[in-house]
Structure 1
């Protein structure tokens, strides 16, 4: 008999990815969400998964065998209440993943404040390229698969370990459910301040996670990150392998060359040369991610030549330095960066890829943490990596008291005082007009937001194309992703 599952909040990245896994496993799958929008709605539609708009008790009339409630749902969610009233089995996203897809497989979990999506995606692709057919669930669309999850049939299952809470009835971070046999800790830095009021509480939670790794398991820990060094306890039962760049303990990488096509780097293990590798990614942050992946795959028995082929063939992740289009020599890049450190490293990476270009950063403060004043100075410093900066209005600013709210106007003024051309512009149409009329051939515009940002990418590309046409010249060919 075929099992059935209903997912409440199905269009979230994690929930939609889980729905795809259930579908691949042969379950009947349906779901609901208040906001049904691409790209997840498109991915689910391609899989033939029916989505109900909004939340209603009647959406459970089909009496599914299991109801998965996403962390978007509050305790008064009509479907969560109805499932309880009907006595239907209810679980969370992370628990469902662990119970139905991680059991009996080697769980490989990439966790950390930064880099976990890219690291998990690299792991999944490199294992696939090595013929190991891994399962995976990652918080971004892997371009190699055009998917965020895959069931796979091999021994490993790769998971992006999210530290955010699981559900209203389970306030643990998702990664506490993932039973890691191999864990990667990329970085530990203050984030999600609505859940972790200080860095000490965040470190405690990551410490609890890495203590889940059994004695026969492995922890790959980034020695270059001070937060990681402060988090990893000396009495950990698992084997700890440190990694980083340049000199230091454990597995180390050295950048040999970087440019528009990516970077070449050398890896040393235990003081000995292991090999030279090529990746289409750029930036020190990505080199750290690659180093961790190399060490994990070596431990799983993948040889250097196979590993090199896999890393070179990685096509990236949607919304991670993703080129959305180029019009008249102006390149528009989309990136999910929203923490000050991620903003800084993303801009530095784009400098390496687009040598000599004028770099324009367009930043939307959208996350709970980025909308608050706690990171005001850190964002200002990070954005000095760009030549020009546009700061949008704080998303849903009314939710935050003025005294606690990030001040984009002051940030723009501070950047100008430090020699960076900056402006604060509230609305997307005005930002688009400003950029379209002031950018020049060779500019790279980096749009930094974890949300849709009003469709600014396509609006900007269209505006650039129209402007070229009205200049009395044929509009240049517009290339878009």
Structure 2
């Protein structure tokens, strides 16, 4: 996996150029890394360079659901293999995934006009439409590399995900604690929506720390509020090290809270300073059946583990207070 972020402090070029890829699976292209790129056009220029170094023996697998990917694919000098999960792109895509179930375990059917158009079903342990899209892209690439359908299906159905992506840290007193690396507004929205669909009857808390070089700036000021729409409650932390934003254009967390609450018509969101205050708030407000989804590209001050430990302490206190007469 590689992206357009800089390689090192002495090499500000995108790291993926150093991999000299034979095959490129292009999942999405959006504006990000505001400390490196000026705007979306600047980001696209990095991806153009990536596509230019694909050798004649290689190939491009492209996601038609992202307009910017479609734009870049049209500039590619050879035919790309395409995939999509949105119904409006089904006819144009070489591979298409139809999501059959999304609550609990995800189930989807893959159709391909390059392989078997009747479709194959996959039982998938990873929630979220974005993860189905990723699985479909990998399927297209795997077929291109010569794997059989059975090999691909077995790989998908036994894949357990990666650390810090919808990572279940524990459950205490009926409260689930989940950790995720999401920080870009699109990633936040996809992750919150995925967890909402996986646990449709539970109260969902989205707990977010603006920490990355992009998320701590105001470039996504208007994009963050709707990204939390699927959550029942939203808790926002302080911007991490705001003094590092050189031009002073720091994300206005209070304004995000106001926008979320205005859209919800209720006090759905809150902003608290410091992990101790956030831990105390969650400890007092969370109840059995809740899902606490923590999102940050950093450690979040260890808040996830602190909340788990506090919940366990409360549970143990309750158990120790029970008196049994035999």
Report the TM-score, using the length of structure 2 for normalisation: 0.92
2:203 is the counterpart of 1:358: yes
Residue 343 and residue 292 in structure 1: after superposition, are their counterparts in 2 closer, same or farther (change >3 A)?
same
Residues of 1 paired with 2:273 and 2:69: CA distance? 37
Residue 235 and residue 444 in structure 1: after superposition, are their counterparts in 2 closer, same or farther (change >3 A)?
closer
Question: Residue 162 of structure 2 corresponds to which residue in structure 1?
Answer: 317
Residues of 2 paired with 1:351 and 1:474: CA distance? 34
2:82 is the counterpart of 1:242: yes
1:256 is matched with which residue: 93, 100, 108?
Answer: 100
Structure 1 residue matching 2:221: 3-state secondary structure: helix
Question: Residue 305 of structure 1 corresponds to which residue in structure 2?
Answer: 150
1:169 is matched with which residue: 1, 7, 10?
Answer: 10
Question: Residue 270 of structure 1 corresponds to which residue in structure 2?
Answer: 113
Question: Residue 343 of structure 1 corresponds to which residue in structure 2?
Answer: 188
- Structure number with higher strand proportion: 1
Q: Is 2:182–2:191's contact at 8 Å kept on the other side of the alignment?
A: yes
Q: Is 2:111–2:120's contact at 8 Å kept on the other side of the alignment?
A: yes
Residue 235 and residue 280 in structure 1: after superposition, are their counterparts in 2 closer, same or farther (change >3 A)?
closer
2:271 is the counterpart of 1:424: yes
Q: Which 5+ residue runs of structure 1 have no aligned equivalent? A: 1-159, 476-481
Residues of 2 paired with 1:343 and 1:474: CA distance? 39
Q: Deviations over 1:75-112 (max 9, x none)?
A: xxxxxxxxxxxxxxxxxxxxxxxxxxxxxxxxxxxxxx
Residue 402 and residue 208 in structure 1: after superposition, are their counterparts in 2 closer, same or farther (change >3 A)?
closer
Q: Which 5+ residue runs of structure 2 have no aligned equivalent? A: 322-326
Report the TM-score, using the length of structure 1 for normalisation: 0.63
Following superposition, the deviation at residue 414 of structure 1 comes to: 1.7
Question: Residue 253 of structure 2 corresponds to which residue in structure 1?
Answer: 408
Question: Residue 211 of structure 1 corresponds to which residue in structure 2?
Answer: 52
Q: Is 2:51–2:76's contact at 8 Å kept on the other side of the alignment?
A: no
Following superposition, the deviation at residue 473 of structure 1 comes to: 4.0
Structure 2 residue matching 1:232: 3-state secondary structure: helix
Following superposition, the deviation at residue 404 of structure 1 comes to: 0.8
Q: Is 1:204–1:231's contact at 8 Å kept on the other side of the alignment?
A: no
Following superposition, the deviation at residue 474 of structure 1 comes to: 4.9
Residues of 2 paired with 1:450 and 1:165: CA distance? 17
Following superposition, the deviation at residue 308 of structure 1 comes to: 1.1
2:301 is the counterpart of 1:454: yes
What is the total number of aligned residue pairs between the two structures?
314
1:233 is matched with which residue: 71, 74, 86?
Answer: 74
Q: Is 2:99–2:108's contact at 8 Å kept on the other side of the alignment?
A: yes
Following superposition, the deviation at residue 402 of structure 1 comes to: 8.1
Query: Could you tell which deviates more after superposition, 427-436 or 209-218?
Result: 209-218
Structure with bigger RCO (C-alpha 8 Å, 6+ apart): 2
Structure 2 residue matching 1:404: 3-state secondary structure: coil
Q: Deviations over 1:265-301 (max 9, x none)?
A: 1111128224111210111100110000111111122
Residues of 2 paired with 1:451 and 1:216: CA distance? 39
Query: Could you tell which deviates more after superposition, 170-179 or 326-335?
Result: 170-179
Following superposition, the deviation at residue 235 of structure 1 comes to: 4.4
Question: Residue 324 of structure 2 corresponds to which residue in structure 1?
Answer: none
Q: CA RMSD in A?
A: 1.8
Structure 1 stretches of 4+ with a deviation exceeding 6 A read none
Following superposition, the deviation at residue 259 of structure 1 comes to: 2.5
Following superposition, the deviation at residue 201 of structure 1 comes to: 0.9
Q: Is 1:319–1:335's contact at 8 Å kept on the other side of the alignment?
A: yes
Structure 2 residue matching 1:434: 3-state secondary structure: helix
